[in-house]
């Protein structure tokens, strides 16, 4: 995001925040506490370009983000996987916009109620955000806790926040929502630039040799189930189009290094989708009972590798998907057909 654009956003937000803080003071009938109205993270808006890394941590997840030129990427075991610049921008803007409204408890045993206790404690619900510059200096280290709606006026959301170097929690005002999962900071769409109308033919090959094919001649046609038994009806008229719909709407739960799971040929289902413009999507899918994963073996649209467009070398990664989505993409003939009527 350009610095000038960011400054404009801060000014606009600052005006509404100031009004909310003034309204809060008028409602309470008392003077505002020292520090009220000040940014929760000092000088973040002016020093946005100095942010080199962000670590997001919850009780169950930890995600690292690293600035790589104009692109944010994941760090740690997922180093190099592109993050969503939009999601990272929104996070930083939210932090820079966040203003102190009212000091709250300094009693440690009450932090959990506000969700600003240590995120490593059992049952902790807050999200820790640590921001550093390129030299590893900490620019901000805070725990974002419970939201409190309707408390600060002008449709603003209050949220409890505590800096790690502060014994007191604060109620803040601003649009500050933080997620610590990989899916919170990446583009979750696995297959880009494919819509159901693009798909001409889908072939699903199971390791036992069973093969299922749906196809059509024109985009406006319904898919036909190849080799459907003449004496059986489809489970539903729309079921043959479910593969194309699933490809478009499929989103990841998380990303894994390709080395994290060994795809066993005896358990792996292959799906090949062909498009009207000559593109192909090749997926390998496996479910081991605990998780469902897929590998994108090939992804070409209009004669061009989608990896070139997205900057993602999909050979390096696996995608974990919900079990129901795995089931959608690995149907066999028996799953497509209604029960016999007699």
For residue range 245-275, what is the model confidence (pLDDT) as tens digits? Answer: 999 999 999 999 999 999 999 999 999 999 9
Beta strands in the chain (DSSP E): 53-57, 62-68, 71-74, 99-103, 127-132, 138-149, 157-163, 170-173, 199-205, 211-215, 224-225, 254-257, 269-275, 280-287, 292-301, 304-305, 317-321
Identify whether the C-beta of residue 88 lies closer than 8 Å to the C-beta of residue 54: yes
Query: Is residue 307 over pLDDT 50?
Result: yes
150-160 tens-digit pLDDT? 655 555 678 99
- Using alpha carbons only, what angle is made at residue 16 by residues 100 and 159, rounded to the nearest 5 degrees? 35
Confidence of residue 9 (pLDDT cuts 50, 70, 90): very low
Query: Is residue 288 over pLDDT 80?
Result: yes
User: Average pLDDT, stretch 228-239?
Assistant: 94
Query: Is residue 194 over pLDDT 70?
Result: yes
User: Average pLDDT, stretch 313-336?
Assistant: 95
Query: Is residue 17 over pLDDT 80?
Result: no
CA distance 249 to 93: 29
How many helices, marked H, and strands, marked E, lie in the chain? 7, 17
Edge-to-edge strands, sheet with 62-68: 71-74, 62-68, 53-57, 127-132, 138-149, 157-163, 170-173, 99-103
Domain ranges of the chain: 3-184, 196-336
The dihedral over CA atoms of 328, 333, 335, 340, expressed in degrees to the nearest 10, equals: 160
Residue 280, beta-bridge partner list: 274, 300
User: Average pLDDT, stretch 163-185?
Assistant: 93
Q: Which two tokens stand for residue 78?
A: 């997922």
Res 340: pLDDT: 86
Query: Is residue 106 over pLDDT 80?
Result: yes
- Using alpha carbons only, what angle is made at residue 247 by residues 318 and 338, rounded to the nearest 5 degrees? 115
81-85, 151-155, 169-173, 185-189: least confidently modelled range: 151-155
The values of phi and psi at residue 64, to 5°, are -105, 140
Q: With pLDDT > 70 as the criterion, what percentage of the chain qualifies?
A: 85
């Amino acid at each position: 995001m350009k610095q000038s654009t960011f400054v404009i956003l801060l000014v606009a937000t600052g005006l509404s925040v100031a009004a909310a803080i003034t309204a809060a003071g008028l409602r309470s009938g008392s003077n505002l506490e020292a520090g009220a109205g000040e940014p929760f993270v000092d000088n973040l808006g002016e020093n946005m370009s100095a942010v080199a890394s962000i670590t997001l941590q919850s009780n169950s997840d930890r995600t690292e983000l690293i600035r790589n030129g104009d692109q944010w990427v994941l760090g740690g075991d997922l180093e190099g996987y592109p993050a969503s610049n939009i999601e990272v921008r929104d996070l930083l803007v939210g932090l820079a916009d966040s203003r102190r409204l009212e000091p709250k408890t300094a009693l440690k045993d009450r932090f959990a109620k506000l969700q600003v206790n240590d995120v490593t404690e059992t049952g902790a619900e807050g999200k820790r955000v640590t921001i550093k510059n390129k030299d590893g200096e900490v620019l901000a280290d805070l725990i974002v806790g419970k939201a409190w709606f309707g408390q600060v006026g002008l449709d603003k959301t209050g949220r409890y926040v505590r800096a790690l170097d502060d014994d007191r929690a604060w109620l803040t005002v601003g649009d500050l929502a933080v997620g610590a999962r990989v899916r919170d900071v990446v583009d979750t769409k696995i297959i880009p630039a494919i819509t159901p109308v693009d798909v001409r033919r889908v072939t699903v090959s199971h390791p036992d040799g069973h093969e299922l094919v749906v196809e059509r001649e024109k985009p406006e046609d319904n898919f036909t189930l190849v080799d459907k038994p003449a004496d059986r009806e489809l489970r539903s008229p729309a079921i043959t189009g479910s593969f194309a719909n699933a490809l478009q709407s499929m989103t990841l739960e998380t990303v894994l290094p390709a080395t994290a799971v060994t795809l066993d040929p005896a358990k792996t289902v292959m799906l090949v989708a062909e498009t009207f413009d000559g593109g192909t999507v090749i997926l390998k899918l496996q479910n081991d009972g605990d998780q469902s994963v897929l590998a994108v073996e090939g992804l070409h649209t209009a004669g061009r590798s989608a990896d070139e467009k997205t900057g993602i070398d999909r050979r390096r990664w696996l995608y974990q998907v919900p079990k129901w989505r795995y089931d959608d993409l690995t149907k066999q003939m028996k799953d497509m057909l209604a029960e016999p009527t007699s």
